[in-house]
Amino acid sequence: MSSLILIAIENPRNLARPICPINVHEIYGISKEKASNKKILIMKHTIFILFIALLLGSCHQSQSDKAAFIADDLMMEEEMIPITRQELSSPPPLPPRETKEVIKKKIIKDGRIGIEVHDLERTKKQIDSLVVKHGGYYANERLNNSDWQMSYNLKIRIPSNKFEKLIGEIETGGGEIKYKEIDARDVTDQFIDLEIRLANKKNYLEKYNDLLKQAKSVKDILEIEEKIRGIEEEIESTTGRLKYLSDLVDFSTLDLEISKPKDYKYQPEKRDKFTKRLKHALSKGWFGFMDFIVFVIKIWPFWIIIGIIVYAWKKYRKRKKNKK
C-alpha cells in the first residue's frame, strides 16, 4: 500500500496505466471475501490519491500562473514607480520662449526754428551757453545785417538725446517764434543692410587672403590681389557710409535763426546835377563810338572774305549776261 502511494506521488501518470492483477490469496493467505474487501479499499484509496494528485496539480498550476501574474505586476510597478516619481519630482517643462533680437532704432532728427527777439546779442549769448551745456557745437555761424533786420543763422549739432530738451529751452527763452519744423528719419534698415554687406565683404576678403597664400603662379597672385584691392575699397566705402550715418544719428542738426527787426526809413538815392550827368552821357557816347570803330577794324579778315565773295558773284552775273 505504501509502495503504491509512493509510486502515485512520484509519477501520477502511472495511476492511469492498468494495474496488473495481484493474487492476494497467494501473498497473504487470506479468504476471498477479505481479499475482495481489501481490493475495494485499495481502489478507493487509489481513486482518492488520483483525485488529490490532480487537485494538487491544478492548484500548483494556478498558483504558478498567479505568481507569474503577480511578478509581472510587480515588475510593471517597479518600472512605473521611477517614472511617476520623476514626473512628480520634476515640474512640468515650461513652454519655449520666443527670443527676439531687440534692434535699436536709428533715427536722424533735424529741425528748423526762427525766433524774433528784441535783444539780439543777449539771446545769442544764451544760445551759446545752452549749446555748451548740452555738449553741442556750431557747425556754421553767419551774421546778416540789412536795412530792415539783423540776424544770426546758426547750424547747431547737438547730441540726439538732448535735442528735444534744447528746443524746449530755446522756445521758453523769450522771443516770438516765426516758424518751426522738426523732421525724424528712420534709417534702421540702411544700417542693417550696410552692416550685413560689410560683414559679407570681410568674409570674402578673408577667403581671398587664404587663396592668396595658396596661390603658386604669378597670374593667380595678380588676379587675387586685384580682387582683394576691389573688396578693400568697397569695405572702406561701406565703413565711411556707416560712420556718416552714425554721426547723423548720434548728433542731431538744428538750423536756428534769431533776428531783430530794425526801424526802416526810406532814404532816396542821391543823384548828381544835370550838367554833371550830361557830361557823363557825352563821354559815354564818345567812348561807345570809339569802341564800335575798334570793333569794326578788329574783324578785318571777314571784310576781305566778304569782298572776294561779292566780286566773284558780280563777275559770274556779267558772264551770264554776255552769253545771252
Give the count of domains, the chain. Answer: 2
Q: Note whether 181 and 32 are same-domain residues.
A: no
- Sequence letter at residue 155: K
Indicate whether 158 and 51 sit together in one domain.
no
Under 8 Å between Cβ of 252 and 111:
yes
DSSP 107-145: EEEEEEEEEE-S-HHHHHHHHHHHHHHTT-EEEEEEEEE
- Answer whether residue 92 is part of any domain: no
The answer to whether residues 222 and 112 belong to one domain is yes
Give 165's contacts (C-beta < 8 A, 6+ positions apart). Answer: 134
Q: What is the number of alpha carbons within 13 Å of residue 18 lying toward its C-beta? A: 2
Evaluate whether residue 171 is within a structural domain.
yes
Domain of 171 in residue numbering reads as 107-264
How many H helices and E strands in the chain?
9, 5
Distance CA 111, CA 180 (A): 7
Predicted confidence pLDDT, tens digits, the chain (324 residues): 434 333 433 444 444 444 444 444 444 444 445 555 666 667 766 776 776 766 666 555 545 454 444 445 445 444 444 444 444 344 445 444 544 455 688 899 999 999 999 888 999 999 999 999 999 999 999 999 888 889 999 999 999 999 999 999 998 888 889 999 999 999 999 989 999 999 999 999 999 899 888 888 888 889 989 999 999 999 999 999 999 999 999 999 999 999 999 876 666 677 777 788 888 888 888 888 888 888 888 888 888 898 899 888 888 888 877 776
Examine residue 300 and state whether it is found in any structural domain, yes or no.
no
Same domain? For 255 and 112 the reply is yes
Collect all residues with Cβ–Cβ distance below 8 Å to 211 and sequence separation of at least 6.
224
